[in-house]
Structure 1
Amino acid sequence: MAEIVLEARDLSKEFKGFTAVKGVNLQVRRGTIHALIGPNGAGKSTVFNLITRFLPPTRGRILYKGRDITRARPADVARMGLVRSFQISAVFPHLSVLENVRVALQRPLGTSFHFWKPEASLHGLHERARDLIDAVNLAAWADRAAVELPYGRKRALEIATTLALDPEVMLLDEPLAGMGHEDIGHTAALIRRVAAGRTVLMVEHNLSVVADLSDTITVLRRGEVLAEGPYDTVSRDPEVREAYMGAGHG
């Protein structure tokens, strides 16, 4: 069995008497793609915000590589190698694809906002930026402004800027949301490709979308773990089927 790299123990969150997450236990193994799914209102986003430290838990613990990060700051967690996509992927719409990735590469150097420096001083980052752009199939768009990208390409750019921090664990918050069928296929293939040598935890609401992508699927319902395992196991679970059919999902 692969090493557990990220773990939640008895994770709970209450909001003014409402329990959004109740006693969630989660183990993400190194080198796997782990999907956290469930119908709307299942508590997926809350769990994600707890794990990435954007929300404090009411109870429970979060461990990263065996280290307790329950009270760590989001920025410190990111520096440890646990990177949530939007932490560094809020793209600048009027910068080019290349410039966006280059800015993301500057962050670990502490020079993200040194806009007054001559452009020539940043040329050393070009090769790495272009490698990342190639990795997400955006080479043909490198000089286009981010605002001009189709929706699916913008999500690819977000993944490229996430990769710029060289994360050990990537956390992707509904990376396929709002996409058409063709974009879903392209983005799923991209996630599989960039996951090589990394660990990925992704939030998704559609069971069928993660069927071929994930090694392990954790299904939430009303803030609790309903089922967990590979797709073949969870998709046959009668409670999972009822939860999805009741929520209008196939």
Structure 2
Amino acid sequence: MTSPDHILETRQLTKEFKGFVAVNKVDLRVRRGTIHALIGPNGAGKTTCFNLLTKFLTPTSGQILFDGTDITNEKPAPIARRGVVRSFQISAVFAHLSVLENVRVALQRQLGTSYHFWKPERSLRRLDARALELLEAVDLASYAAIPAVELSYGRKRALEIATTLAMDPKLMLLDEPTQGMGLEDVDRIRQLIKKVAADRTVLMVEHNMSVVSKIADTITVLQRGATLAEGPYAEVSRNPAVIEAYMGSAQTELVGAH
């Protein structure tokens, strides 16, 4: 029986690849309305875990429950329709559509015309007001008319968050949202995640400890596919096993990221 406080739960979630255990009996519980970060050294199994949750990979064993329903055997599309929406490490926007049009494409799902490419453009204009609201939420309203290809990398990631929000997610999965960014963009995206998480749940894989330390309510640390530690940042960052797992410069980063 799942707790109503938890929107997502995994039980003994395991993934093996030809004898290599990438995710090893992970019990993950994500509370509603929180930001939950999944961290760990390279090769810890973080992205594999995300791929299992969104069914890009099939678990070898274990269970995945979302909103109290067992979704272990569901396909990616039904899981997305339930409200589990993921963004990827690599920015995925339509480069030559305008910023507004990118969000409008994501909103088309609500009209049931996602594949009706021959429909006149005016049939989509009713979505413009909502698209602008979403762009306002991610501080991109002033960029609405420009081609997405002209955005800086950080703003492309903000646009991707807007298109994710357009899918009306109950649970947003963000995979390395600040990867490859300079300090200014990192800070913008960190504030943006905090803002959009005000009325939804966020599960994020993130390598930047300064981001995790400032916005995550709960942190799960993976090592070699298994859960090493879990709790708030102040507790996890002082856990000797976690410090040992990160070692060297990463150890300094982990403890000094306040």
How many equivalent residue pairs? 248
Q: Does 1:12 align with 2:20?
A: no
Alignment partners' CA distance in 1, 2:236 and 2:27: 17
In 2 relative to 1, CA 125–59 (structure 1 residues): closer, same or farther, beyond 3 Å?
same
| TM-align CA RMSD | 1.5
| SS of equivalent residue, structure 2 residue 65 | strand
For residue 132 of structure 1, report the CA deviation from its aligned partner. Answer: 0.3
CA contact (8 A) 1:93 1:145 kept: yes
Which residue of structure 2 aligns with residue 124 of structure 1?
126
User: Residue 215 of structure 1 aligns to which amino acid in structure 2?
Assistant: D
For residue 2 of structure 1, report the CA deviation from its aligned partner. Answer: 7.2
Q: How does 1:161-240 map to 2 (within 5 A)?
A: 161-240=163-242
Alignment gaps of 5+ in structure 1 = none
Alignment partners' CA distance in 2, 1:124 and 1:211: 40
TM-score normalised to structure 2 length: 0.92
CA contact (8 A) 2:10 2:28 kept: yes
Alignment partners' CA distance in 2, 1:4 and 1:207: 24
Q: How does 1:98-113 map to 2 (within 5 A)?
A: 98-113=100-115
In 2 relative to 1, CA 2–176 (structure 1 residues): closer, same or farther, beyond 3 Å?
farther
In 2 relative to 1, CA 55–246 (structure 1 residues): closer, same or farther, beyond 3 Å?
farther
Alignment partners' CA distance in 2, 1:99 and 1:142: 8
Deviations 1:184-215 (A, max 9, x none): 11100000001111000001123332001100
For residue 95 of structure 1, report the CA deviation from its aligned partner. Answer: 0.2
| SS of equivalent residue, structure 2 residue 24 | strand
CA contact (8 A) 1:38 1:206 kept: no
Q: Does 1:81 align with 2:92?
A: no
Aligned partner of 2:152 among 146, 150, 153: 150
TM-score normalised to structure 1 length: 0.95
Deviations 1:197-242 (A, max 9, x none): 1000001123332001100000001111010000000000011111
Alignment gaps of 5+ in structure 2 = 254-258
CA contact (8 A) 1:36 1:201 kept: yes
For residue 15 of structure 1, report the CA deviation from its aligned partner. Answer: 0.2
Between the aligned residues of both structures, percent identity stands at 67
Aligned partner of 2:139 among 137, 140, 144: 137
For residue 246 of structure 1, report the CA deviation from its aligned partner. Answer: 4.9
User: Residue 236 of structure 1 aligns to which amino acid in structure 2?
Assistant: R
| SS of equivalent residue, structure 2 residue 156 | helix
Deviations 1:3-32 (A, max 9, x none): 011001001110001111111000000000
Alignment partners' CA distance in 1, 2:215 and 2:93: 26
